[in-house]
A and B are shown apart, each in its own frame.
Chain A
Amino acid sequence: MSIYENYYDTMNSVMHTLVRAVEENSRRHESACGAKLFEHLRFRIKDEASMREKLARNGKQANAYHALRAVTDSIGLRIVCLFIDDVYENAALLRNLPGCTVVKEKDYIQNAKPNGYRSYHMILDVETDAPDVDGNTPGHYFVEVQLRTIAMDTWAALEHEMKYKKTIANPELIVSELRRCANELAACDVSMQTLRNIIRDS
Protein backbone atom coordinates (compact mmCIF):
# COMPACT_ATOMS: atom_id res chain seq x y z
CA MET A 1 0.00 0.00 0.00
CA SER A 2 1.13 3.54 -0.79
CA ILE A 3 2.65 5.52 2.04
CA TYR A 4 -0.06 8.10 1.29
CA GLU A 5 -2.79 5.46 1.84
CA ASN A 6 -6.15 6.73 0.57
CA TYR A 7 -5.06 10.34 0.33
CA TYR A 8 -3.07 10.11 -2.88
CA ASP A 9 -5.95 11.12 -5.19
CA THR A 10 -6.81 14.14 -3.03
CA MET A 11 -3.13 15.18 -3.00
CA ASN A 12 -3.14 14.93 -6.76
CA SER A 13 -6.23 17.09 -7.06
CA VAL A 14 -4.84 19.70 -4.60
CA MET A 15 -1.65 19.84 -6.66
CA HIS A 16 -3.51 20.28 -9.94
CA THR A 17 -5.77 22.97 -8.50
CA LEU A 18 -2.68 25.04 -7.70
CA VAL A 19 -1.06 24.27 -11.06
CA ARG A 20 -4.23 25.42 -12.86
CA ALA A 21 -4.35 28.64 -10.81
CA VAL A 22 -0.73 29.47 -11.68
CA GLU A 23 -1.28 28.64 -15.37
CA GLU A 24 -4.52 30.62 -15.66
CA ASN A 25 -2.96 33.62 -13.97
CA SER A 26 -0.07 33.51 -16.44
CA ARG A 27 -2.49 33.28 -19.37
CA ARG A 28 -4.44 36.28 -18.08
CA HIS A 29 -1.20 38.18 -17.73
CA GLU A 30 -0.13 37.19 -21.23
CA SER A 31 -3.30 38.44 -22.87
CA ALA A 32 -3.06 41.70 -20.89
CA CYS A 33 0.71 42.41 -21.13
CA GLY A 34 1.92 40.08 -23.89
CA ALA A 35 4.27 38.12 -21.65
CA LYS A 36 3.69 35.00 -19.59
CA LEU A 37 4.54 34.95 -15.91
CA PHE A 38 6.59 31.75 -15.83
CA GLU A 39 8.73 29.71 -18.18
CA HIS A 40 8.55 26.26 -16.59
CA LEU A 41 6.13 24.83 -14.07
CA ARG A 42 7.13 21.53 -12.53
CA PHE A 43 5.14 19.62 -9.94
CA ARG A 44 5.31 16.25 -8.24
CA ILE A 45 4.12 14.17 -5.36
CA LYS A 46 7.17 13.06 -3.42
CA ASP A 47 7.93 9.53 -4.50
CA GLU A 48 7.52 6.64 -2.12
CA ALA A 49 11.25 5.96 -1.60
CA SER A 50 12.23 9.59 -0.92
CA MET A 51 9.34 10.02 1.51
CA ARG A 52 10.25 6.86 3.43
CA GLU A 53 13.90 7.94 3.50
CA LYS A 54 12.98 11.41 4.79
CA LEU A 55 10.69 10.04 7.50
CA ALA A 56 13.39 7.61 8.62
CA ARG A 57 15.94 10.44 8.67
CA ASN A 58 13.62 12.47 10.91
CA GLY A 59 12.90 9.49 13.18
CA LYS A 60 9.23 9.30 12.15
CA GLN A 61 7.16 6.21 11.48
CA ALA A 62 6.43 5.51 7.84
CA ASN A 63 2.72 6.23 7.60
CA ALA A 64 0.37 8.68 5.87
CA TYR A 65 -0.09 10.77 9.01
CA HIS A 66 3.59 11.64 9.30
CA ALA A 67 4.02 11.88 5.53
CA LEU A 68 1.30 14.55 5.42
CA ARG A 69 1.89 16.30 8.75
CA ALA A 70 5.54 15.96 9.80
CA VAL A 71 6.77 16.51 6.27
CA THR A 72 5.56 19.59 4.37
CA ASP A 73 6.82 18.82 0.87
CA SER A 74 4.77 15.73 0.01
CA ILE A 75 3.24 17.97 -2.67
CA GLY A 76 5.74 20.22 -4.45
CA LEU A 77 5.59 22.89 -7.15
CA ARG A 78 8.49 24.65 -8.77
CA ILE A 79 7.79 27.81 -10.76
CA VAL A 80 10.70 28.96 -12.91
CA CYS A 81 10.42 32.50 -14.28
CA LEU A 82 12.28 34.68 -16.77
CA PHE A 83 12.53 37.73 -14.49
CA ILE A 84 12.84 38.39 -10.76
CA ASP A 85 9.66 40.48 -10.61
CA ASP A 86 7.70 37.54 -12.10
CA VAL A 87 8.81 35.43 -9.14
CA TYR A 88 7.22 37.93 -6.75
CA GLU A 89 4.04 38.19 -8.90
CA ASN A 90 3.54 34.44 -8.73
CA ALA A 91 4.21 34.47 -4.99
CA ALA A 92 1.60 37.20 -4.57
CA LEU A 93 -0.93 35.16 -6.54
CA LEU A 94 -0.46 32.10 -4.30
CA ARG A 95 -0.60 34.24 -1.16
CA ASN A 96 -4.02 35.60 -2.15
CA LEU A 97 -5.53 32.40 -3.54
CA PRO A 98 -8.85 31.51 -1.86
CA GLY A 99 -8.51 28.49 0.44
CA CYS A 100 -4.75 28.98 0.53
CA THR A 101 -2.88 30.07 3.67
CA VAL A 102 0.84 30.77 3.85
CA VAL A 103 2.34 28.72 6.69
CA LYS A 104 5.92 29.77 6.08
CA GLU A 105 7.68 31.99 3.58
CA LYS A 106 11.39 32.40 3.07
CA ASP A 107 12.89 34.89 0.64
CA TYR A 108 16.31 33.52 -0.28
CA ILE A 109 16.49 36.06 -3.11
CA GLN A 110 16.71 39.00 -0.74
CA ASN A 111 18.53 36.80 1.79
CA ALA A 112 20.82 34.64 -0.31
CA LYS A 113 22.24 31.60 1.49
CA PRO A 114 25.99 31.82 2.22
CA ASN A 115 26.74 29.34 -0.60
CA GLY A 116 24.95 31.64 -3.09
CA TYR A 117 21.59 29.81 -3.26
CA ARG A 118 18.72 32.07 -4.31
CA SER A 119 15.02 31.13 -4.49
CA TYR A 120 11.68 32.08 -2.99
CA HIS A 121 10.18 29.34 -0.78
CA MET A 122 6.59 29.03 0.41
CA ILE A 123 4.82 26.40 2.45
CA LEU A 124 1.08 26.61 1.86
CA ASP A 125 -1.86 25.11 3.69
CA VAL A 126 -4.45 24.35 1.02
CA GLU A 127 -8.05 23.63 1.84
CA THR A 128 -10.00 21.01 -0.12
CA ASP A 129 -13.53 19.56 0.03
CA ALA A 130 -12.12 16.07 0.59
CA PRO A 131 -11.10 14.89 4.08
CA ASP A 132 -7.52 15.02 5.33
CA VAL A 133 -5.36 12.70 7.45
CA ASP A 134 -6.73 14.24 10.67
CA GLY A 135 -10.24 13.22 9.59
CA ASN A 136 -11.36 16.82 9.04
CA THR A 137 -13.64 17.86 6.20
CA PRO A 138 -12.86 20.18 4.49
CA GLY A 139 -9.34 18.83 4.59
CA HIS A 140 -5.99 20.63 4.76
CA TYR A 141 -2.87 19.70 2.82
CA PHE A 142 0.63 21.15 2.84
CA VAL A 143 2.19 22.22 -0.43
CA GLU A 144 5.77 23.41 -0.81
CA VAL A 145 6.39 25.90 -3.61
CA GLN A 146 9.82 26.99 -4.88
CA LEU A 147 9.94 30.03 -7.14
CA ARG A 148 13.05 31.19 -8.93
CA THR A 149 14.48 32.57 -12.16
CA ILE A 150 16.00 30.38 -14.88
CA ALA A 151 19.47 31.52 -13.79
CA MET A 152 18.78 30.54 -10.17
CA ASP A 153 17.38 27.20 -11.39
CA THR A 154 20.51 26.45 -13.42
CA TRP A 155 22.68 27.31 -10.43
CA ALA A 156 20.62 25.09 -8.09
CA ALA A 157 20.86 22.20 -10.56
CA LEU A 158 24.64 22.46 -10.62
CA GLU A 159 24.91 22.80 -6.87
CA HIS A 160 22.68 19.73 -6.53
CA GLU A 161 24.98 17.74 -8.81
CA MET A 162 27.97 18.75 -6.74
CA LYS A 163 26.27 17.88 -3.45
CA TYR A 164 25.42 14.35 -4.57
CA LYS A 165 28.78 13.59 -6.06
CA LYS A 166 30.92 12.10 -3.34
CA THR A 167 34.30 12.34 -5.01
CA ILE A 168 35.24 15.81 -6.16
CA ALA A 169 38.80 16.97 -6.53
CA ASN A 170 39.34 20.36 -4.87
CA PRO A 171 35.82 20.89 -3.43
CA GLU A 172 36.75 24.23 -1.75
CA LEU A 173 37.65 25.75 -5.11
CA ILE A 174 34.41 24.51 -6.70
CA VAL A 175 32.36 25.86 -3.80
CA SER A 176 33.97 29.29 -3.98
CA GLU A 177 33.64 29.45 -7.77
CA LEU A 178 29.99 28.38 -7.48
CA ARG A 179 29.48 31.26 -5.06
CA ARG A 180 31.08 33.64 -7.56
CA CYS A 181 28.82 32.28 -10.32
CA ALA A 182 25.77 32.83 -8.11
CA ASN A 183 26.78 36.47 -7.65
CA GLU A 184 27.30 36.91 -11.39
CA LEU A 185 23.98 35.28 -12.26
CA ALA A 186 22.27 37.51 -9.70
CA ALA A 187 23.95 40.49 -11.36
CA CYS A 188 22.51 39.42 -14.75
CA ASP A 189 19.03 38.85 -13.29
CA VAL A 190 19.06 42.32 -11.70
CA SER A 191 20.45 44.03 -14.83
CA MET A 192 17.91 42.34 -17.11
CA GLN A 193 15.06 43.24 -14.76
CA THR A 194 16.30 46.86 -14.79
CA LEU A 195 16.48 46.85 -18.60
CA ARG A 196 12.99 45.40 -18.85
CA ASN A 197 11.70 48.17 -16.55
CA ILE A 198 13.43 50.79 -18.70
CA ILE A 199 11.99 49.28 -21.91
CA ARG A 200 8.49 49.03 -20.45
CA ASP A 201 8.59 52.58 -19.05
CA SER A 202 9.77 54.17 -22.28
Chain B
Amino acid sequence: MKVLLAEDENDLREVVAAYLELQGYYVVSVANGAEAVKELDRDAYDAVVMDIMMPVMDGVTAMRKIRASGHTTPAIFLTAKSEVADRVEGLDAGADDYLTKPFAMEELSARLRALYRRKRDYKTRLFSFGNLELDTEASELRAHNTIALALKEARLLSCLLSTAGQEWPADTLLSEVWPGEDVSSDLVQMYISFLNAKLASVRANAVIEKSAANGYRILEVSDV
Protein backbone atom coordinates (compact mmCIF):
# COMPACT_ATOMS: atom_id res chain seq x y z
CA MET B 1 0.00 0.00 0.00
CA LYS B 2 1.38 3.32 -1.14
CA VAL B 3 0.86 6.35 1.09
CA LEU B 4 1.48 10.03 0.36
CA LEU B 5 2.43 11.93 3.54
CA ALA B 6 2.19 15.76 3.52
CA GLU B 7 3.54 17.34 6.74
CA ASP B 8 5.61 20.50 7.18
CA GLU B 9 7.11 19.67 10.59
CA ASN B 10 10.30 17.74 9.78
CA ASP B 11 10.43 15.73 13.01
CA LEU B 12 6.83 14.61 12.91
CA ARG B 13 7.07 13.79 9.19
CA GLU B 14 10.11 11.59 9.71
CA VAL B 15 8.60 9.77 12.69
CA VAL B 16 5.30 9.08 10.93
CA ALA B 17 7.07 7.96 7.74
CA ALA B 18 9.39 5.67 9.69
CA TYR B 19 6.50 4.13 11.60
CA LEU B 20 4.37 3.54 8.48
CA GLU B 21 7.34 2.05 6.63
CA LEU B 22 7.88 -0.29 9.56
CA GLN B 23 4.25 -1.33 9.16
CA GLY B 24 4.97 -2.28 5.57
CA TYR B 25 3.65 0.84 3.82
CA TYR B 26 5.54 2.46 0.98
CA VAL B 27 5.70 6.15 1.96
CA VAL B 28 6.43 9.24 -0.13
CA SER B 29 6.85 12.43 1.97
CA VAL B 30 6.23 16.03 0.92
CA ALA B 31 6.35 19.23 2.98
CA ASN B 32 3.31 21.23 1.82
CA GLY B 33 -0.07 21.11 0.07
CA ALA B 34 1.18 22.28 -3.32
CA GLU B 35 3.72 19.43 -3.46
CA ALA B 36 1.00 16.97 -2.46
CA VAL B 37 -1.26 18.11 -5.32
CA LYS B 38 1.65 17.81 -7.77
CA GLU B 39 2.64 14.38 -6.48
CA LEU B 40 -0.92 13.00 -6.77
CA ASP B 41 -1.12 14.20 -10.35
CA ARG B 42 2.18 12.47 -11.06
CA ASP B 43 1.56 9.11 -9.41
CA ALA B 44 -1.23 6.91 -8.04
CA TYR B 45 -1.56 6.41 -4.28
CA ASP B 46 -3.71 4.18 -2.09
CA ALA B 47 -4.06 6.82 0.62
CA VAL B 48 -3.10 10.38 1.56
CA VAL B 49 -2.16 11.53 5.07
CA MET B 50 -2.12 15.34 5.20
CA ASP B 51 -1.55 18.08 7.77
CA ILE B 52 -3.99 21.03 7.65
CA MET B 53 -1.66 23.87 8.68
CA MET B 54 1.16 24.00 6.11
CA PRO B 55 3.04 26.80 4.35
CA VAL B 56 2.72 27.51 0.59
CA MET B 57 -0.62 25.70 0.40
CA ASP B 58 -2.68 24.50 3.38
CA GLY B 59 -4.18 21.04 3.53
CA VAL B 60 -7.81 22.08 3.01
CA THR B 61 -6.99 24.00 -0.20
CA ALA B 62 -4.84 21.12 -1.42
CA MET B 63 -7.66 18.65 -0.68
CA ARG B 64 -10.14 20.71 -2.69
CA LYS B 65 -7.74 20.81 -5.65
CA ILE B 66 -7.11 17.08 -5.41
CA ARG B 67 -10.84 16.26 -5.44
CA ALA B 68 -11.55 18.84 -8.15
CA SER B 69 -9.10 17.10 -10.45
CA GLY B 70 -11.00 13.85 -9.99
CA HIS B 71 -8.75 11.91 -7.61
CA THR B 72 -10.77 9.67 -5.26
CA THR B 73 -7.76 8.53 -3.20
CA PRO B 74 -8.85 8.08 0.45
CA ALA B 75 -7.46 10.88 2.64
CA ILE B 76 -6.87 11.43 6.37
CA PHE B 77 -6.25 14.87 7.85
CA LEU B 78 -3.85 15.44 10.72
CA THR B 79 -4.86 18.50 12.65
CA ALA B 80 -3.39 20.32 15.61
CA LYS B 81 -6.58 22.24 15.94
CA SER B 82 -9.43 20.45 17.57
CA GLU B 83 -12.13 22.93 16.74
CA VAL B 84 -15.22 21.43 15.17
CA ALA B 85 -15.24 24.05 12.38
CA ASP B 86 -11.79 22.94 11.11
CA ARG B 87 -12.72 19.30 11.09
CA VAL B 88 -15.94 20.08 9.24
CA GLU B 89 -14.07 22.18 6.69
CA GLY B 90 -11.51 19.43 6.15
CA LEU B 91 -14.12 16.70 5.73
CA ASP B 92 -16.21 18.86 3.41
CA ALA B 93 -13.13 19.58 1.31
CA GLY B 94 -13.03 15.87 0.52
CA ALA B 95 -11.16 14.14 3.35
CA ASP B 96 -12.52 10.80 4.56
CA ASP B 97 -11.24 10.90 8.13
CA TYR B 98 -9.15 12.99 10.54
CA LEU B 99 -6.85 12.59 13.56
CA THR B 100 -6.16 15.25 16.16
CA LYS B 101 -2.53 15.79 17.16
CA PRO B 102 -1.08 14.32 19.24
CA PHE B 103 -2.25 10.94 17.97
CA ALA B 104 -1.21 7.34 18.51
CA MET B 105 0.68 5.79 15.59
CA GLU B 106 -1.29 2.55 15.87
CA GLU B 107 -4.48 4.49 15.42
CA LEU B 108 -3.23 6.16 12.24
CA SER B 109 -2.25 2.76 10.89
CA ALA B 110 -5.64 1.23 11.82
CA ARG B 111 -7.53 4.11 10.20
CA LEU B 112 -5.50 3.66 7.01
CA ARG B 113 -6.37 -0.02 6.99
CA ALA B 114 -10.05 0.80 7.50
CA LEU B 115 -10.02 3.31 4.63
CA TYR B 116 -8.31 0.87 2.33
CA ARG B 117 -10.86 -1.81 3.18
CA ARG B 118 -13.74 0.51 2.29
CA LYS B 119 -12.13 1.60 -0.94
CA ARG B 120 -11.81 -2.04 -1.98
CA ASP B 121 -15.42 -2.81 -1.03
CA TYR B 122 -16.71 0.11 -3.07
CA LYS B 123 -14.94 -1.22 -6.09
CA THR B 124 -16.57 -4.65 -5.99
CA ARG B 125 -17.14 -5.49 -9.59
CA LEU B 126 -18.31 -9.06 -9.47
CA PHE B 127 -21.01 -10.44 -7.21
CA SER B 128 -21.78 -14.13 -7.04
CA PHE B 129 -24.83 -15.82 -5.61
CA GLY B 130 -25.79 -19.43 -6.31
CA ASN B 131 -25.22 -19.96 -10.02
CA LEU B 132 -25.51 -16.28 -10.86
CA GLU B 133 -22.85 -13.69 -11.40
CA LEU B 134 -23.39 -9.94 -11.63
CA ASP B 135 -20.71 -7.98 -13.47
CA THR B 136 -21.37 -4.35 -12.53
CA GLU B 137 -18.78 -3.02 -14.95
CA ALA B 138 -20.19 -4.76 -18.03
CA SER B 139 -23.71 -4.39 -16.58
CA GLU B 140 -24.31 -8.04 -17.30
CA LEU B 141 -26.13 -10.78 -15.46
CA ARG B 142 -24.80 -14.27 -16.07
CA ALA B 143 -26.02 -17.71 -15.11
CA HIS B 144 -27.03 -20.32 -17.71
CA ASN B 145 -27.38 -17.45 -20.23
CA THR B 146 -26.17 -13.87 -20.23
CA ILE B 147 -28.37 -10.76 -20.37
CA ALA B 148 -27.68 -7.04 -20.22
CA LEU B 149 -28.87 -4.98 -17.25
CA ALA B 150 -29.87 -1.33 -17.20
CA LEU B 151 -27.68 0.79 -14.90
CA LYS B 152 -30.38 1.08 -12.23
CA GLU B 153 -31.11 -2.64 -12.40
CA ALA B 154 -27.43 -3.43 -11.85
CA ARG B 155 -27.27 -1.05 -8.86
CA LEU B 156 -30.43 -2.46 -7.35
CA LEU B 157 -29.19 -6.02 -7.72
CA SER B 158 -25.75 -5.19 -6.33
CA CYS B 159 -27.42 -3.77 -3.18
CA LEU B 160 -29.40 -6.97 -2.69
CA LEU B 161 -26.35 -9.14 -3.41
CA SER B 162 -24.00 -7.18 -1.14
CA THR B 163 -25.98 -8.49 1.84
CA ALA B 164 -27.52 -11.57 0.26
CA GLY B 165 -30.40 -12.98 2.29
CA GLN B 166 -30.85 -9.78 4.27
CA GLU B 167 -33.98 -7.72 3.78
CA TRP B 168 -33.77 -4.21 2.27
CA PRO B 169 -36.65 -1.81 2.99
CA ALA B 170 -38.05 -0.28 -0.23
CA ASP B 171 -37.20 3.23 1.01
CA THR B 172 -33.55 2.31 1.57
CA LEU B 173 -33.33 0.87 -1.94
CA LEU B 174 -34.92 4.04 -3.32
CA SER B 175 -32.30 6.25 -1.68
CA GLU B 176 -29.43 3.92 -2.67
CA VAL B 177 -30.40 3.48 -6.33
CA TRP B 178 -32.26 6.72 -7.06
CA PRO B 179 -30.50 9.19 -4.72
CA GLY B 180 -32.04 12.64 -4.72
CA GLU B 181 -34.66 11.68 -7.31
CA ASP B 182 -38.33 12.26 -6.74
CA VAL B 183 -39.61 8.75 -7.40
CA SER B 184 -42.10 6.47 -5.69
CA SER B 185 -41.60 2.99 -4.30
CA ASP B 186 -43.72 1.70 -7.22
CA LEU B 187 -40.55 2.19 -9.24
CA VAL B 188 -38.66 -0.18 -6.95
CA GLN B 189 -41.39 -2.78 -7.45
CA MET B 190 -41.22 -2.35 -11.23
CA TYR B 191 -37.44 -2.76 -11.29
CA ILE B 192 -37.74 -5.81 -9.03
CA SER B 193 -40.14 -7.24 -11.65
CA PHE B 194 -37.60 -6.51 -14.41
CA LEU B 195 -34.86 -8.18 -12.38
CA ASN B 196 -36.96 -11.23 -11.55
CA ALA B 197 -37.82 -11.67 -15.24
CA LYS B 198 -34.16 -11.37 -16.15
CA LEU B 199 -33.09 -13.78 -13.40
CA ALA B 200 -35.58 -16.28 -14.88
CA SER B 201 -34.41 -15.65 -18.43
CA VAL B 202 -30.77 -16.47 -17.60
CA ARG B 203 -32.06 -19.38 -15.50
CA ALA B 204 -30.46 -18.15 -12.30
CA ASN B 205 -31.31 -20.17 -9.19
CA ALA B 206 -32.40 -17.01 -7.42
CA VAL B 207 -35.49 -14.90 -6.96
CA ILE B 208 -36.14 -11.56 -5.27
CA GLU B 209 -38.90 -11.80 -2.72
CA LYS B 210 -41.08 -9.06 -1.29
CA SER B 211 -41.97 -9.19 2.38
CA ALA B 212 -45.17 -8.06 4.09
CA ALA B 213 -43.14 -5.13 5.50
CA ASN B 214 -42.44 -3.83 1.96
CA GLY B 215 -38.84 -5.05 2.00
CA TYR B 216 -36.91 -7.06 -0.57
CA ARG B 217 -34.32 -9.80 -0.39
CA ILE B 218 -32.73 -12.23 -2.79
CA LEU B 219 -33.13 -15.93 -2.13
CA GLU B 220 -31.67 -19.04 -3.65
CA VAL B 221 -34.22 -21.39 -5.19
CA SER B 222 -33.84 -24.90 -6.53
CA ASP B 223 -33.27 -25.36 -10.27
CA VAL B 224 -36.14 -23.99 -12.36
Contacts and interface: CB of A to CB of B under 8 A. Distances in A.
B68 to A, nearest CB: 35
B194 A112 contact: no
Contact of A183 (B147, B197, B203): B147
B197 A186 contact: no
B148 A198 contact: no
Contacts of B71: none
Given A191-B194, A194-B193, A186 B201 contact: yes
A110 B145 CA distance: 7
B145 A190 contact: no
Nearest to A193: B197
A184 B141 CA distance: 11
B109 interface: no
Contacts of B87: none
Contacts of A180: 148
B217 interface: no
Interface residues of A, number: 16
Contact of B145 (A112, A197, A198): A112
A111 interface: yes
Contact of A198 (B144, B193, B198, B203): B193
A175 interface: no
Contacts, number: 41
B145 A111 contact: yes
B194 A190 contact: yes
Contacts of B145: 110-112, 186
B146 A190 contact: no
A103 B50 CA distance: 74
Interface in A159-195: 179-180, 183-184, 186-187, 190-191, 193-194
Interface size class of B (residues with CB under 8 A): 10 to 19
Contacts of A191: 150, 194, 197-198
B63 interface: no
Interface in B127-181: 140, 144-150
B190 interface: yes
A194 B195 CA distance: 10
A186 B194 contact: no
B144 to A, nearest CB: 7
Contacts of B144: 110-111
A194 B193 CA distance: 7
Residue among B150, B194, B197, B203 facing the most chain A CB atoms (10 A cut-off)? B197
A183 B153 CA distance: 15
Nearest to A185: B148
A179 B142 CA distance: 13
Contacts of A111: 144-145
B194 to A, nearest CB: 5
Nearest to B198: A190
Given A183-B140, A190-B201, A194-B194, 9 more contacts: A110-B203, A111-B144, A112-B145, A186-B201, A187-B147, A187-B150, A190-B198, A194-B197, A198-B193
14 contacts: A110-B144, A110-B201, A112-B146, A179-B146, A183-B148, A184-B148, A186-B147, A187-B149, A190-B147, A190-B198, A190-B201, A191-B194, A194-B193, A197-B193
